Amino acid sequence: MPKHDWLPASVRARAADRKLKTGEALFRQGDRPVSFFEVIAGRVRLSRVDRAGREVVLHVAGPGETLAEASLYSDAYHCDAIASTAATLRAYPKAALLAAFGKDRKAAQGFTATLARQVMGLRTRIEQRNIRSARDRVRHYLAVNAEAGVVTVRGTLKDLAGELGLTHEALYRTMAALARKGEIKRGRGRIVLMRGHKV
């Protein structure tokens, strides 16, 4: 879980926790931003609805991740934030955080480092979205996210499909095909990359 020890005590003192039920909105695109959020438990997906009415998942945030960073400098949230599971979030007041950045260099640098990590993650997701084949896109995701040959699946496979820009049916078919070929072995909440198979 990422640590946000750069958050000043003055801002932490003004934080408030908020609990969401599955499917409940934390905020909607166009709402006025009043807080910066940290996910304490559960999963929250950031998404937009395209012209055809389909949900486009931008990111699914889990424990330790933050939301609404860009909205600190905007008059409106840029997407919807919906609980994919029951979730607890910590809300830090926007005004208090911006004021702290002006006074506390460590806080400003910590926030900048958080944004830099997010940019790196975004570039990886863009790279994945540009891979045309569903099988190659899934292989890329597995290779990038494997630790000691194991990928921990945070959230549901439907959430993962959304992040990869695939339908959940396409993701299920691809996973099944990779398992049949012996490239992966699926378990509860994890995918094991089998030795001898280069993903």
Of 196, 116, 130, 187, whose CA–CA distance to 164 is shortest?
130
> What does the pLDDT look like over 72-114, one tens digit per residue?
999 999 999 999 999 999 999 999 999 999 899 998 998 888 8
Q: Among residues 69, 95, 124, which one ends one of the domains?
A: 124
Q: Among residues 124, 148, 179, which one ends one of the domains?
A: 124
Of 38, 37, 56, 32, whose CA–CA distance to 46 is shortest?
56
Whether residue 169 sits in one domain with residue 147? yes
Structure tokens at 167: 């339908």
Band of pLDDT at residue 1, cut at 50, 70 and 90: very low
Q: Among residues 78, 93, 124, which one ends one of the domains?
A: 124
CA 148 centroid distance within chain: 22
Whether residue 184 sits in one domain with residue 99? no
Of 18, 13, 153, whose CA–CA distance to 89 is shortest?
18
On whether residue 3 sits in a domain, the answer given is no
pTM across the whole model: 0.71
Separation between Cα atoms, residue 10 and residue 178, nearest integer Å = 50
Whether residue 160 sits in one domain with residue 85? no
Whether residue 136 sits in one domain with residue 116? no
Write the CATH number for 68. Answer: 2.60.120.10
What is the domain extent for residue 96?
9-124
pLDDT at 155 over 80: no
Whether residue 158 sits in one domain with residue 98? no
On whether residue 189 sits in a domain, the answer given is yes
Would you call 167 exposed, middle or buried from its count of C-beta atoms within 10 A (0-12, 13-18, 19+)? middle
pLDDT at 156: 79
> What does the pLDDT look like over 160-186, one tens digit per residue?
888 888 888 999 999 999 999 999 998
Whether residue 15 sits in one domain with residue 48? yes
Q: How many domains does the structure of the chain reveal?
A: 2
